[in-house]
Amino acid sequence: MMASNQSHPLIPAGDHKAFMEYALEQARHSPPAPTKFCVGAVLVDADKNEILSTGWSLELPDNNPADPGKTHAEQCCFIKVAQKHGLPEERLCEVLPKNTVLYTTMEPCNKRLSGNKPCVDRILRLKECIRVVYIGIKEPDNFIDQSILVVGRKRLVDAGVEVIFIEGMEDQILKVSMAGH
């Protein structure tokens, strides 16, 4: 892979595994801890095959005084685009391409123990521009009951957001995700 002018690799269109590998590279930046997962995410303009944003767990501070700095990977992707365009996160569809896809090493959360907005809710708020979410692994049930996670996937699908699991990377994603456990 050659580097693009935005310091992201040039990944061939439709190479979902390569995009997931890049998301996994982001996850490796997340500080390991026994109370969280190390997750990475990549936001892509699927029409232009351009990486719009990346993120990893705890990369950025958030503005939640009850739980500062507990940002998830997907949330970090959205924060970066919002900051770049001077918009609140809920208005990102004004600047995101209509065929934006999200790659995340672990399925988006449907419940946050911190009280922060779950990533499923963030994606649903942007469902007019994010219509496909590629996922590396299901969230292990260390912190959240699996039934809540299934509800999250169902909420996405019921709202018209396609959820696609990328097969074949589960072991390496799980190893990175569980670092610190």
DSSP annotation string for the chain: --B-TTSSBP--TT-HHHHHHHHHHHHTTSPP-TTS---EEEEEETTTTEEEEEEETTSS--S-TTSTT---HHHHHHHHHHHHHT--GGGGGGTS-TTEEEEEEEPPPS--TTSSPPHHHHHHHTTTTEEEEEEEEPPPTTSS-HHHHHHHHHHHHHTT-EEEE-TT-HHHHHHHHTTT-
Residue 7 within a domain = no
Q: Structural domain of residue 78, as residue ranges?
A: 16-177
Instruction: State residue 127's pLDDT score.
Output: 97
Tens digits of per-residue pLDDT, 35-86? Answer: 889 999 999 999 999 999 999 999 998 665 555 568 999 999 999 999 999 9
Residue 133 within a domain = yes
Instruction: State residue 120's pLDDT score.
Output: 96
Instruction: State residue 6's pLDDT score.
Output: 59
Active site residue 25: no
Structural domains of the chain, count: 1
Q: Is the pLDDT of residue 163 over 60?
A: yes
Distance CA 106, CA 104 (A): 5
Residue 2 within a domain = no
Q: What CATH number is given to the structural domain containing 63? A: 3.40.140.10
The single residue of 74, 89, 90, 170 carrying the catalytic annotation is: 74
Tens digits of per-residue pLDDT, 12-39? Answer: 999 999 999 999 999 999 999 888 899 9
Residue 164 within a domain = yes
Instruction: State residue 147's pLDDT score.
Output: 65
Residue 103 within a domain = yes
